[in-house]
Structure 1
Amino acid sequence: MGSATTQARTATTAALDASSAVDLGVARDLFAAARALDDSTQLGGALSDASATPASREALVRAVFGAVSSPASLDLLTTIVQQRWSSTSDLIDGIDDLAVRAASLAAGDADVEGELFGFSRTVAENPELELALGSRVGDAAAKSALIEKLLGGRVSEATALIVTSLVRQPRDRRVRSLLSAAMKTVAGQRGRTVATVVTAVPLNEAQSSRLAAALTAKYGTRVSINTVIDASVVGGLRVQIADDVIDASVSSRLADLRQRLAS
Protein backbone atom coordinates (compact mmCIF):
# COMPACT_ATOMS: atom_id res chain seq x y z
CA MET A 1 0.00 0.00 0.00
CA GLY A 2 1.54 3.30 -1.11
CA SER A 3 1.85 6.35 1.11
CA ALA A 4 -0.80 8.18 -0.92
CA THR A 5 -3.28 5.37 -0.26
CA THR A 6 -2.41 5.29 3.44
CA GLN A 7 -3.13 9.01 3.74
CA ALA A 8 -6.33 8.64 1.70
CA ARG A 9 -7.62 5.88 3.95
CA THR A 10 -6.91 7.95 7.04
CA ALA A 11 -8.85 10.89 5.60
CA THR A 12 -11.83 8.81 4.48
CA THR A 13 -12.05 6.95 7.80
CA ALA A 14 -12.07 10.29 9.60
CA ALA A 15 -14.91 11.46 7.33
CA LEU A 16 -16.91 8.32 8.14
CA ASP A 17 -16.36 8.75 11.88
CA ALA A 18 -17.53 12.37 11.64
CA SER A 19 -20.73 11.48 9.81
CA SER A 20 -23.93 11.34 11.84
CA ALA A 21 -25.98 9.55 9.18
CA VAL A 22 -24.22 6.21 8.77
CA ASP A 23 -26.54 3.22 8.41
CA LEU A 24 -26.62 -0.02 6.44
CA GLY A 25 -27.92 1.89 3.44
CA VAL A 26 -24.64 3.81 3.35
CA ALA A 27 -22.68 0.56 3.48
CA ARG A 28 -24.77 -0.85 0.61
CA ASP A 29 -24.21 2.28 -1.48
CA LEU A 30 -20.45 2.11 -0.93
CA PHE A 31 -20.26 -1.59 -1.80
CA ALA A 32 -22.30 -0.89 -4.96
CA ALA A 33 -19.96 1.93 -5.92
CA ALA A 34 -16.92 -0.33 -5.51
CA ARG A 35 -18.56 -2.90 -7.80
CA ALA A 36 -19.34 -0.23 -10.37
CA LEU A 37 -15.71 0.91 -10.45
CA ASP A 38 -14.48 -2.65 -10.72
CA ASP A 39 -16.89 -3.35 -13.59
CA SER A 40 -15.84 -0.23 -15.51
CA THR A 41 -12.14 0.23 -16.18
CA GLN A 42 -12.88 3.65 -17.66
CA LEU A 43 -14.77 4.89 -14.59
CA GLY A 44 -12.25 3.48 -12.14
CA GLY A 45 -9.36 5.00 -14.07
CA ALA A 46 -11.03 8.40 -14.27
CA LEU A 47 -11.75 8.54 -10.54
CA SER A 48 -8.22 7.47 -9.57
CA ASP A 49 -6.48 9.74 -12.12
CA ALA A 50 -4.11 11.92 -10.09
CA SER A 51 -3.73 14.33 -13.00
CA ALA A 52 -7.45 15.22 -12.87
CA THR A 53 -8.54 17.89 -10.41
CA PRO A 54 -10.39 16.82 -7.24
CA ALA A 55 -13.31 18.99 -8.38
CA SER A 56 -13.59 17.14 -11.70
CA ARG A 57 -13.49 13.76 -9.96
CA GLU A 58 -16.17 14.93 -7.54
CA ALA A 59 -18.35 16.12 -10.42
CA LEU A 60 -18.04 12.71 -12.07
CA VAL A 61 -19.03 10.91 -8.86
CA ARG A 62 -22.10 13.11 -8.48
CA ALA A 63 -23.07 12.52 -12.10
CA VAL A 64 -22.73 8.73 -11.83
CA PHE A 65 -23.93 8.04 -8.29
CA GLY A 66 -25.99 11.09 -7.37
CA ALA A 67 -29.33 9.57 -8.36
CA VAL A 68 -28.74 6.17 -6.72
CA SER A 69 -26.96 7.05 -3.47
CA SER A 70 -28.16 8.68 -0.27
CA PRO A 71 -26.81 12.15 0.58
CA ALA A 72 -24.59 10.66 3.31
CA SER A 73 -23.21 8.06 0.89
CA LEU A 74 -22.59 10.67 -1.78
CA ASP A 75 -20.73 12.89 0.69
CA LEU A 76 -18.43 10.00 1.56
CA LEU A 77 -17.87 9.08 -2.08
CA THR A 78 -16.92 12.64 -2.94
CA THR A 79 -14.49 12.67 -0.01
CA ILE A 80 -13.00 9.41 -1.26
CA VAL A 81 -12.35 10.62 -4.81
CA GLN A 82 -10.97 13.94 -3.62
CA GLN A 83 -8.06 11.99 -2.14
CA ARG A 84 -5.02 10.80 -4.03
CA TRP A 85 -4.79 7.02 -4.40
CA SER A 86 -1.76 5.03 -5.50
CA SER A 87 -3.78 2.97 -8.00
CA THR A 88 -7.30 2.22 -9.18
CA SER A 89 -7.17 -1.05 -7.26
CA ASP A 90 -6.30 0.82 -4.07
CA LEU A 91 -9.24 3.18 -4.64
CA ILE A 92 -11.68 0.26 -5.00
CA ASP A 93 -10.19 -1.47 -1.95
CA GLY A 94 -10.54 1.80 -0.04
CA ILE A 95 -14.24 2.05 -0.88
CA ASP A 96 -14.78 -1.58 0.18
CA ASP A 97 -12.92 -0.92 3.41
CA LEU A 98 -15.09 2.10 4.16
CA ALA A 99 -18.20 0.05 3.39
CA VAL A 100 -17.14 -2.58 5.93
CA ARG A 101 -16.53 0.16 8.50
CA ALA A 102 -19.94 1.68 7.78
CA ALA A 103 -21.63 -1.69 8.25
CA SER A 104 -19.76 -2.13 11.53
CA LEU A 105 -20.94 1.26 12.77
CA ALA A 106 -24.52 0.52 11.74
CA ALA A 107 -24.47 -2.87 13.47
CA GLY A 108 -24.49 -1.44 16.97
CA ASP A 109 -23.64 -4.12 19.53
CA ALA A 110 -23.87 -7.04 17.09
CA ASP A 111 -20.84 -9.32 17.22
CA VAL A 112 -19.82 -8.75 13.62
CA GLU A 113 -16.23 -9.88 14.21
CA GLY A 114 -17.35 -13.15 15.78
CA GLU A 115 -19.89 -13.80 13.03
CA LEU A 116 -17.33 -13.18 10.30
CA PHE A 117 -14.90 -15.47 12.09
CA GLY A 118 -17.55 -18.18 12.41
CA PHE A 119 -18.29 -18.06 8.70
CA SER A 120 -14.58 -18.09 7.85
CA ARG A 121 -14.25 -21.31 9.86
CA THR A 122 -17.20 -22.80 7.98
CA VAL A 123 -15.47 -21.96 4.71
CA ALA A 124 -12.13 -23.33 5.93
CA GLU A 125 -13.75 -26.64 6.90
CA ASN A 126 -15.62 -27.02 3.59
CA PRO A 127 -13.29 -26.94 0.54
CA GLU A 128 -16.21 -27.34 -1.86
CA LEU A 129 -17.90 -24.27 -0.37
CA GLU A 130 -14.71 -22.25 -0.64
CA LEU A 131 -14.34 -23.32 -4.26
CA ALA A 132 -17.94 -22.39 -5.06
CA LEU A 133 -17.67 -18.96 -3.44
CA GLY A 134 -14.24 -18.19 -4.84
CA SER A 135 -14.80 -19.33 -8.40
CA ARG A 136 -14.01 -16.66 -10.98
CA VAL A 137 -16.71 -17.95 -13.29
CA GLY A 138 -19.38 -18.28 -10.60
CA ASP A 139 -22.52 -16.21 -11.02
CA ALA A 140 -22.73 -13.36 -8.49
CA ALA A 141 -26.45 -13.86 -7.95
CA ALA A 142 -25.94 -17.57 -7.30
CA LYS A 143 -23.21 -16.79 -4.77
CA SER A 144 -25.51 -14.31 -3.03
CA ALA A 145 -28.29 -16.91 -2.88
CA LEU A 146 -25.90 -19.48 -1.41
CA ILE A 147 -24.74 -17.08 1.29
CA GLU A 148 -28.33 -16.16 2.11
CA LYS A 149 -29.10 -19.85 2.53
CA LEU A 150 -26.10 -20.32 4.83
CA LEU A 151 -26.39 -17.12 6.88
CA GLY A 152 -30.01 -16.02 6.64
CA GLY A 153 -31.40 -15.49 10.15
CA ARG A 154 -28.18 -16.73 11.77
CA VAL A 155 -26.10 -13.55 11.72
CA SER A 156 -26.70 -9.82 11.87
CA GLU A 157 -27.80 -7.97 8.76
CA ALA A 158 -24.47 -6.14 8.76
CA THR A 159 -22.46 -9.36 8.67
CA ALA A 160 -24.61 -10.81 5.90
CA LEU A 161 -24.14 -7.63 3.86
CA ILE A 162 -20.35 -7.66 4.30
CA VAL A 163 -20.00 -11.32 3.35
CA THR A 164 -22.35 -11.13 0.37
CA SER A 165 -20.79 -7.94 -1.00
CA LEU A 166 -17.19 -9.13 -0.74
CA VAL A 167 -17.85 -12.61 -2.12
CA ARG A 168 -19.85 -11.28 -5.08
CA GLN A 169 -16.77 -9.53 -6.41
CA PRO A 170 -13.59 -10.95 -4.82
CA ARG A 171 -11.24 -9.50 -7.45
CA ASP A 172 -8.90 -12.52 -7.43
CA ARG A 173 -8.71 -12.60 -3.62
CA ARG A 174 -9.36 -15.78 -1.64
CA VAL A 175 -12.60 -15.83 0.34
CA ARG A 176 -10.86 -16.52 3.65
CA SER A 177 -8.46 -13.63 3.01
CA LEU A 178 -11.41 -11.32 2.38
CA LEU A 179 -13.13 -12.42 5.58
CA SER A 180 -9.92 -12.10 7.60
CA ALA A 181 -9.33 -8.56 6.31
CA ALA A 182 -12.95 -7.64 7.06
CA MET A 183 -12.60 -8.94 10.62
CA LYS A 184 -9.51 -6.81 11.18
CA THR A 185 -11.27 -3.77 9.70
CA VAL A 186 -14.29 -4.21 11.97
CA ALA A 187 -12.05 -4.71 15.00
CA GLY A 188 -10.03 -1.62 14.11
CA GLN A 189 -13.20 0.43 13.67
CA ARG A 190 -14.25 -0.65 17.16
CA GLY A 191 -10.85 0.05 18.69
CA ARG A 192 -9.87 -3.59 19.12
CA THR A 193 -7.28 -6.08 17.87
CA VAL A 194 -8.23 -9.62 16.89
CA ALA A 195 -6.42 -12.56 18.48
CA THR A 196 -6.85 -16.04 17.00
CA VAL A 197 -6.42 -18.66 19.72
CA VAL A 198 -5.87 -22.30 18.77
CA THR A 199 -6.58 -24.73 21.60
CA ALA A 200 -7.39 -28.41 22.01
CA VAL A 201 -10.54 -27.75 24.07
CA PRO A 202 -12.88 -24.74 24.23
CA LEU A 203 -12.00 -21.98 26.68
CA ASN A 204 -14.62 -21.18 29.28
CA GLU A 205 -15.78 -17.62 29.81
CA ALA A 206 -13.40 -16.99 32.71
CA GLN A 207 -10.40 -18.29 30.76
CA SER A 208 -11.29 -16.18 27.73
CA SER A 209 -11.65 -13.09 29.90
CA ARG A 210 -8.29 -13.65 31.62
CA LEU A 211 -6.55 -14.25 28.30
CA ALA A 212 -8.13 -11.15 26.73
CA ALA A 213 -7.07 -9.07 29.75
CA ALA A 214 -3.49 -10.37 29.57
CA LEU A 215 -3.24 -9.69 25.83
CA THR A 216 -4.79 -6.25 26.26
CA ALA A 217 -2.12 -5.42 28.85
CA LYS A 218 0.64 -6.77 26.62
CA TYR A 219 -0.39 -4.98 23.42
CA GLY A 220 -1.91 -1.82 24.89
CA THR A 221 -5.19 -2.16 23.01
CA ARG A 222 -8.43 -4.04 23.61
CA VAL A 223 -8.22 -7.58 22.28
CA SER A 224 -11.11 -9.75 21.10
CA ILE A 225 -10.67 -13.52 21.12
CA ASN A 226 -11.55 -15.86 18.26
CA THR A 227 -11.08 -19.52 19.17
CA VAL A 228 -10.16 -22.42 16.86
CA ILE A 229 -10.48 -25.93 18.31
CA ASP A 230 -7.69 -28.20 17.09
CA ALA A 231 -7.00 -31.46 18.91
CA SER A 232 -3.51 -31.66 17.37
CA VAL A 233 -2.20 -28.98 19.74
CA VAL A 234 -2.74 -31.60 22.53
CA GLY A 235 -2.86 -29.03 25.32
CA GLY A 236 -2.01 -25.40 26.04
CA LEU A 237 -2.70 -22.90 23.30
CA ARG A 238 -1.30 -20.93 20.39
CA VAL A 239 -2.14 -17.24 19.99
CA GLN A 240 -1.70 -15.16 16.84
CA ILE A 241 -2.12 -11.38 16.75
CA ALA A 242 -1.18 -9.85 13.40
CA ASP A 243 2.34 -11.21 12.72
CA ASP A 244 3.02 -12.18 16.35
CA VAL A 245 2.65 -15.83 17.36
CA ILE A 246 2.75 -16.96 20.99
CA ASP A 247 3.02 -20.76 20.98
CA ALA A 248 2.45 -22.33 24.40
CA SER A 249 0.99 -25.57 23.06
CA VAL A 250 2.03 -29.03 24.23
CA SER A 251 2.55 -30.10 20.60
CA SER A 252 5.07 -27.31 20.14
CA ARG A 253 6.99 -28.29 23.27
CA LEU A 254 7.00 -31.94 22.19
CA ALA A 255 8.28 -31.00 18.73
CA ASP A 256 11.03 -28.94 20.35
CA LEU A 257 11.97 -31.84 22.60
CA ARG A 258 12.09 -34.28 19.68
CA GLN A 259 14.35 -31.87 17.78
CA ARG A 260 16.73 -31.60 20.74
CA LEU A 261 16.88 -35.37 21.16
CA ALA A 262 17.61 -35.83 17.47
CA SER A 263 20.50 -33.32 17.44
Structure 2
Amino acid sequence: MQGVSRESLATAEEQLDALLATAGTDGTAVGQALFAVVDLLDANVSLRRALTDPSNEADAKAGLIGRLLDGKVSADVVTLLSGMARSRWSRARDLSDSIEKLGSSAIIAGAEAGDRADRVEDELFRFERIVDADPELARALADRAAPEASKSALVDELISAKAAPEAVVLIRRAVLNGRGQNLDRALDANVQLAATRRDKLVAHVRVALPLEDDQRARLAAALTTLYGKRVHLNVDVDPSVLGGIRVEIGDEVLDGTVSRRLDDVRRQLSR
Protein backbone atom coordinates (compact mmCIF):
# COMPACT_ATOMS: atom_id res chain seq x y z
CA MET A 1 0.00 0.00 0.00
CA GLN A 2 1.55 3.30 -1.10
CA GLY A 3 1.91 6.49 0.90
CA VAL A 4 -1.41 8.19 0.23
CA SER A 5 -3.35 4.99 0.94
CA ARG A 6 -1.39 4.37 4.13
CA GLU A 7 -2.26 7.87 5.32
CA SER A 8 -5.94 7.36 4.53
CA LEU A 9 -5.93 4.01 6.35
CA ALA A 10 -4.25 5.56 9.40
CA THR A 11 -6.96 8.23 9.54
CA ALA A 12 -9.69 5.58 9.24
CA GLU A 13 -8.08 3.51 12.02
CA GLU A 14 -8.23 6.51 14.34
CA GLN A 15 -11.91 7.00 13.49
CA LEU A 16 -12.61 3.32 14.09
CA ASP A 17 -10.87 3.43 17.48
CA ALA A 18 -13.03 6.40 18.45
CA LEU A 19 -16.15 4.50 17.39
CA LEU A 20 -15.15 1.37 19.30
CA ALA A 21 -14.45 3.45 22.42
CA THR A 22 -18.08 4.63 22.42
CA ALA A 23 -20.10 2.98 25.18
CA GLY A 24 -22.34 0.22 23.93
CA THR A 25 -20.54 -0.29 20.61
CA ASP A 26 -20.44 -3.96 19.59
CA GLY A 27 -17.07 -4.52 17.89
CA THR A 28 -18.16 -7.79 16.32
CA ALA A 29 -21.27 -6.20 14.81
CA VAL A 30 -19.16 -3.35 13.40
CA GLY A 31 -16.67 -5.84 11.96
CA GLN A 32 -19.38 -7.93 10.32
CA ALA A 33 -20.89 -4.80 8.76
CA LEU A 34 -17.51 -3.77 7.36
CA PHE A 35 -16.94 -7.26 5.93
CA ALA A 36 -20.31 -7.05 4.17
CA VAL A 37 -19.25 -3.76 2.57
CA VAL A 38 -15.99 -5.33 1.40
CA ASP A 39 -17.95 -8.13 -0.26
CA LEU A 40 -20.14 -5.52 -1.97
CA LEU A 41 -17.11 -3.65 -3.31
CA ASP A 42 -15.35 -6.84 -4.41
CA ALA A 43 -18.43 -7.83 -6.40
CA ASN A 44 -18.79 -4.42 -8.07
CA VAL A 45 -15.62 -3.08 -9.70
CA SER A 46 -17.36 0.01 -11.10
CA LEU A 47 -18.58 0.97 -7.62
CA ARG A 48 -15.09 0.55 -6.18
CA ARG A 49 -13.66 2.75 -8.92
CA ALA A 50 -16.34 5.39 -8.45
CA LEU A 51 -15.49 5.61 -4.74
CA THR A 52 -11.74 5.93 -5.35
CA ASP A 53 -11.62 8.02 -8.55
CA PRO A 54 -9.73 11.22 -7.60
CA SER A 55 -11.63 13.16 -10.27
CA ASN A 56 -14.93 12.59 -8.43
CA GLU A 57 -15.90 15.11 -5.76
CA ALA A 58 -15.30 13.90 -2.20
CA ASP A 59 -18.82 14.87 -1.10
CA ALA A 60 -20.31 13.02 -4.06
CA LYS A 61 -18.44 9.85 -3.10
CA ALA A 62 -19.54 10.19 0.52
CA GLY A 63 -23.11 10.72 -0.69
CA LEU A 64 -22.93 7.53 -2.73
CA ILE A 65 -21.94 5.62 0.41
CA GLY A 66 -24.90 7.11 2.24
CA ARG A 67 -27.38 6.15 -0.48
CA LEU A 68 -26.06 2.61 -0.61
CA LEU A 69 -25.81 1.91 3.10
CA ASP A 70 -28.28 4.09 5.02
CA GLY A 71 -30.62 1.80 6.91
CA LYS A 72 -28.49 -1.28 6.15
CA VAL A 73 -25.66 -0.66 8.62
CA SER A 74 -25.43 1.57 11.67
CA ALA A 75 -25.15 5.33 11.22
CA ASP A 76 -21.70 5.26 12.85
CA VAL A 77 -20.44 2.76 10.29
CA VAL A 78 -21.88 4.90 7.47
CA THR A 79 -20.01 7.89 8.88
CA LEU A 80 -16.77 5.91 9.06
CA LEU A 81 -17.10 4.68 5.47
CA SER A 82 -18.14 8.10 4.19
CA GLY A 83 -14.92 9.48 5.62
CA MET A 84 -12.96 6.76 3.85
CA ALA A 85 -14.73 7.59 0.58
CA ARG A 86 -13.65 11.22 0.96
CA SER A 87 -10.02 10.12 1.41
CA ARG A 88 -7.60 9.52 -1.44
CA TRP A 89 -6.41 6.03 -2.42
CA SER A 90 -3.49 5.00 -4.60
CA ARG A 91 -5.39 2.03 -6.03
CA ALA A 92 -9.08 1.14 -6.09
CA ARG A 93 -8.40 -2.11 -4.23
CA ASP A 94 -6.68 -0.27 -1.39
CA LEU A 95 -10.07 0.96 -0.19
CA SER A 96 -11.59 -2.51 0.13
CA ASP A 97 -8.34 -3.92 1.59
CA SER A 98 -8.41 -1.17 4.22
CA ILE A 99 -12.05 -1.80 5.09
CA GLU A 100 -11.21 -5.51 5.43
CA LYS A 101 -8.43 -4.68 7.89
CA LEU A 102 -10.75 -2.41 9.87
CA GLY A 103 -13.32 -5.20 9.99
CA SER A 104 -10.79 -7.60 11.49
CA SER A 105 -9.64 -4.93 13.93
CA ALA A 106 -13.21 -4.35 15.08
CA ILE A 107 -13.74 -8.08 15.64
CA ILE A 108 -10.54 -8.25 17.70
CA ALA A 109 -11.68 -5.20 19.68
CA GLY A 110 -14.81 -7.16 20.53
CA ALA A 111 -12.58 -9.93 21.88
CA GLU A 112 -10.63 -7.39 23.92
CA ALA A 113 -13.85 -6.08 25.44
CA GLY A 114 -14.73 -9.63 26.46
CA ASP A 115 -11.21 -10.34 27.79
CA ARG A 116 -10.72 -12.99 25.09
CA ALA A 117 -7.96 -11.42 22.98
CA ASP A 118 -5.17 -13.82 24.06
CA ARG A 119 -7.52 -16.74 23.52
CA VAL A 120 -8.39 -15.54 20.01
CA GLU A 121 -4.69 -15.21 19.12
CA ASP A 122 -4.02 -18.75 20.34
CA GLU A 123 -6.99 -20.23 18.48
CA LEU A 124 -6.06 -18.54 15.22
CA PHE A 125 -2.52 -19.88 15.56
CA ARG A 126 -3.73 -23.39 16.40
CA PHE A 127 -6.05 -23.46 13.40
CA GLU A 128 -3.18 -22.34 11.18
CA ARG A 129 -0.96 -25.14 12.51
CA ILE A 130 -3.69 -27.75 11.96
CA VAL A 131 -4.02 -26.70 8.33
CA ASP A 132 -0.24 -26.56 7.82
CA ALA A 133 0.13 -30.12 9.11
CA ASP A 134 -2.43 -31.54 6.65
CA PRO A 135 -1.75 -30.71 2.97
CA GLU A 136 -4.97 -32.41 1.85
CA LEU A 137 -6.99 -30.30 4.25
CA ALA A 138 -5.16 -27.17 3.13
CA ARG A 139 -6.03 -27.90 -0.49
CA ALA A 140 -9.68 -28.53 0.38
CA LEU A 141 -9.98 -25.24 2.24
CA ALA A 142 -8.18 -23.31 -0.52
CA ASP A 143 -10.18 -24.86 -3.38
CA ARG A 144 -12.05 -21.96 -4.97
CA ALA A 145 -14.24 -24.35 -6.93
CA ALA A 146 -15.45 -26.18 -3.81
CA PRO A 147 -18.98 -25.33 -2.61
CA GLU A 148 -19.02 -22.87 0.27
CA ALA A 149 -21.21 -25.26 2.26
CA SER A 150 -18.60 -28.02 2.15
CA LYS A 151 -15.81 -25.71 3.29
CA SER A 152 -18.05 -24.31 6.00
CA ALA A 153 -18.72 -27.85 7.24
CA LEU A 154 -14.98 -28.54 7.31
CA VAL A 155 -14.41 -25.42 9.41
CA ASP A 156 -17.15 -26.52 11.82
CA GLU A 157 -15.41 -29.87 12.26
CA LEU A 158 -12.06 -28.23 12.96
CA ILE A 159 -13.12 -25.45 15.31
CA SER A 160 -13.69 -26.41 18.91
CA ALA A 161 -17.20 -25.87 20.25
CA LYS A 162 -15.52 -23.85 23.00
CA ALA A 163 -13.70 -21.52 20.60
CA ALA A 164 -14.05 -17.81 21.15
CA PRO A 165 -16.82 -16.39 18.91
CA GLU A 166 -14.42 -13.79 17.50
CA ALA A 167 -11.96 -16.52 16.48
CA VAL A 168 -14.77 -18.37 14.71
CA VAL A 169 -15.72 -15.23 12.76
CA LEU A 170 -12.12 -14.53 11.70
CA ILE A 171 -11.38 -18.14 10.74
CA ARG A 172 -14.57 -18.39 8.72
CA ARG A 173 -13.73 -15.11 7.02
CA ALA A 174 -10.23 -16.28 6.11
CA VAL A 175 -11.50 -19.58 4.69
CA LEU A 176 -14.72 -18.54 2.98
CA ASN A 177 -13.88 -14.97 1.94
CA GLY A 178 -10.12 -15.03 1.59
CA ARG A 179 -10.19 -12.55 -1.31
CA GLY A 180 -7.42 -14.46 -3.06
CA GLN A 181 -5.08 -14.31 -0.07
CA ASN A 182 -3.16 -17.33 1.17
CA LEU A 183 -4.98 -18.82 4.18
CA ASP A 184 -1.85 -18.96 6.35
CA ARG A 185 -1.11 -15.34 5.55
CA ALA A 186 -4.66 -14.24 6.32
CA LEU A 187 -4.66 -15.99 9.69
CA ASP A 188 -1.21 -14.71 10.58
CA ALA A 189 -2.20 -11.15 9.62
CA ASN A 190 -5.01 -11.32 12.17
CA VAL A 191 -2.65 -12.66 14.86
CA GLN A 192 -0.26 -9.79 14.19
CA LEU A 193 -3.13 -7.30 14.14
CA ALA A 194 -4.33 -8.51 17.52
CA ALA A 195 -0.84 -8.09 18.97
CA THR A 196 -0.37 -4.65 17.43
CA ARG A 197 -3.66 -3.42 18.87
CA ARG A 198 -2.34 -4.18 22.35
CA ASP A 199 1.22 -3.03 21.64
CA LYS A 200 2.55 -6.57 21.83
CA LEU A 201 4.98 -8.63 19.80
CA VAL A 202 4.23 -12.17 18.64
CA ALA A 203 6.90 -14.81 19.20
CA HIS A 204 6.69 -18.11 17.31
CA VAL A 205 8.37 -20.59 19.64
CA ARG A 206 9.46 -24.09 18.58
CA VAL A 207 10.33 -26.62 21.25
CA ALA A 208 10.79 -30.39 21.35
CA LEU A 209 8.39 -30.85 24.29
CA PRO A 210 5.41 -28.82 25.53
CA LEU A 211 6.25 -25.95 27.87
CA GLU A 212 4.86 -25.92 31.39
CA ASP A 213 2.90 -22.82 32.45
CA ASP A 214 5.79 -21.52 34.56
CA GLN A 215 8.22 -22.05 31.67
CA ARG A 216 5.95 -20.08 29.34
CA ALA A 217 5.69 -17.29 31.90
CA ARG A 218 9.47 -17.11 32.37
CA LEU A 219 10.11 -17.11 28.62
CA ALA A 220 7.51 -14.39 28.00
CA ALA A 221 9.01 -12.30 30.81
CA ALA A 222 12.54 -12.73 29.43
CA LEU A 223 11.48 -11.74 25.90
CA THR A 224 9.49 -8.79 27.24
CA THR A 225 12.63 -7.56 29.02
CA LEU A 226 14.74 -8.13 25.90
CA TYR A 227 12.42 -6.32 23.47
CA GLY A 228 10.86 -3.74 25.77
CA LYS A 229 7.32 -4.79 24.81
CA ARG A 230 4.89 -7.41 26.01
CA VAL A 231 5.29 -10.63 24.04
CA HIS A 232 2.59 -13.15 23.14
CA LEU A 233 3.88 -16.71 22.71
CA ASN A 234 2.65 -19.05 19.99
CA VAL A 235 4.27 -22.36 20.95
CA ASP A 236 4.74 -25.11 18.39
CA VAL A 237 5.92 -28.54 19.57
CA ASP A 238 8.38 -29.83 16.97
CA PRO A 239 10.43 -32.96 17.84
CA SER A 240 12.91 -32.12 15.06
CA VAL A 241 14.46 -29.38 17.20
CA LEU A 242 15.72 -32.20 19.51
CA GLY A 243 16.12 -29.88 22.50
CA GLY A 244 16.53 -26.27 23.43
CA ILE A 245 14.31 -23.62 21.91
CA ARG A 246 13.89 -21.60 18.72
CA VAL A 247 12.15 -18.22 18.87
CA GLU A 248 11.11 -16.17 15.85
CA ILE A 249 9.96 -12.57 16.32
CA GLY A 250 9.39 -10.87 13.01
CA ASP A 251 12.54 -11.37 10.93
CA GLU A 252 14.73 -12.08 13.97
CA VAL A 253 15.55 -15.63 15.06
CA LEU A 254 16.91 -16.66 18.45
CA ASP A 255 18.02 -20.26 18.02
CA GLY A 256 19.34 -22.33 20.92
CA THR A 257 18.21 -25.76 19.73
CA VAL A 258 20.30 -28.91 19.75
CA SER A 259 19.52 -29.44 16.07
CA ARG A 260 20.98 -26.02 15.27
CA ARG A 261 24.17 -26.85 17.16
CA LEU A 262 24.40 -30.22 15.36
CA ASP A 263 24.03 -28.43 12.04
CA ASP A 264 26.86 -26.10 13.03
CA VAL A 265 29.07 -29.12 13.84
CA ARG A 266 28.23 -30.76 10.49
CA ARG A 267 29.16 -27.57 8.66
CA GLN A 268 32.49 -27.44 10.50
CA LEU A 269 33.23 -31.09 9.61
CA SER A 270 32.36 -30.61 5.94
CA ARG A 271 34.96 -27.87 5.45
Tell me what 2:56 maps to. Answer: 52
Tell me what 1:10 maps to. Answer: 10
Rounded to whole Å, the distance in 2 between the matches of 1:193 and 1:83 is 30
Rounded to whole Å, the distance in 1 between the matches of 2:73 and 2:156 is 24
Q: CA 1:53–1:214 in structure 2 vs 1: closer, same or farther (change >3 Å)? A: farther
Q: CA 1:140–1:79 in structure 2 vs 1: closer, same or farther (change >3 Å)? A: farther
Tell me what 2:35 maps to. Answer: 31
Q: Say which of 240, 244, 250 aligns to 2:252.
A: 244
Q: Which amino acid aligns with 1:2?
A: Q
TM-score (norm 2): 0.91
CA contact (8 A) 1:31 1:99 kept: yes
| Segment of structure 1 superposing worse, 159-168 or 226-235 | 159-168
In the alignment, is residue 109 of structure 1 matched against residue 121 of structure 2? Answer: no
Per-residue Cα deviation, 1:21-62 (whole angstroms, up to 9, x for no partner):
242111100111111111111112222223323212211111
Per-residue Cα deviation, 1:46-80 (whole angstroms, up to 9, x for no partner):
22223323212211111122231122322222232
Rounded to whole Å, the distance in 1 between the matches of 2:155 and 2:80 is 28
Rounded to whole Å, the distance in 2 between the matches of 1:130 and 1:14 is 36
Tell me what 1:259 maps to. Answer: 267
Q: CA 1:22–1:6 in structure 2 vs 1: closer, same or farther (change >3 Å)? A: farther
Rounded to whole Å, the distance in 2 between the matches of 1:166 and 1:49 is 28
In the alignment, is residue 205 of structure 1 matched against residue 209 of structure 2? Answer: no
Q: CA 1:148–1:74 in structure 2 vs 1: closer, same or farther (change >3 Å)? A: farther
Unaligned runs of 5+ in 1: none
- Listed as ranges, the matches of 1:1-263 within 5 Å are 1-19=1-19, 20=22, 21-107=25-111, 108-110=114-116, 111-151=119-159, 153-263=161-271
SS at match of 1:178: helix
Q: CA RMSD, aligned part only?
A: 1.6
Q: CA 1:183–1:24 in structure 2 vs 1: closer, same or farther (change >3 Å)? A: same
SS at match of 1:133: helix
Rounded to whole Å, the distance in 1 between the matches of 2:196 and 2:45 is 30
Q: CA 1:237–1:120 in structure 2 vs 1: closer, same or farther (change >3 Å)? A: same
- Deviation, structure 1 residue 152: 5.7
Rounded to whole Å, the distance in 2 between the matches of 1:22 and 1:56 is 29
TM-score (norm 1): 0.94
- Deviation, structure 1 residue 141: 4.0
Q: CA 1:69–1:141 in structure 2 vs 1: closer, same or farther (change >3 Å)? A: farther
CA contact (8 A) 2:27 2:108 kept: no
Per-residue Cα deviation, 1:184-232 (whole angstroms, up to 9, x for no partner):
1111112211110011111111111121112222222211000011000
- Deviation, structure 1 residue 148: 3.0
CA contact (8 A) 1:140 1:169 kept: no
Q: Which amino acid aligns with 2:52?
A: S
Rounded to whole Å, the distance in 2 between the matches of 1:218 and 1:52 is 50
Per-residue Cα deviation, 1:229-248 (whole angstroms, up to 9, x for no partner):
10000011111111111111
Aligned residue pair count: 263
Rounded to whole Å, the distance in 2 between the matches of 1:79 and 1:222 is 33
SS at match of 1:228: strand
CA contact (8 A) 2:248 2:254 kept: yes
Unaligned runs of 5+ in 2: none
- Deviation, structure 1 residue 172: 2.1
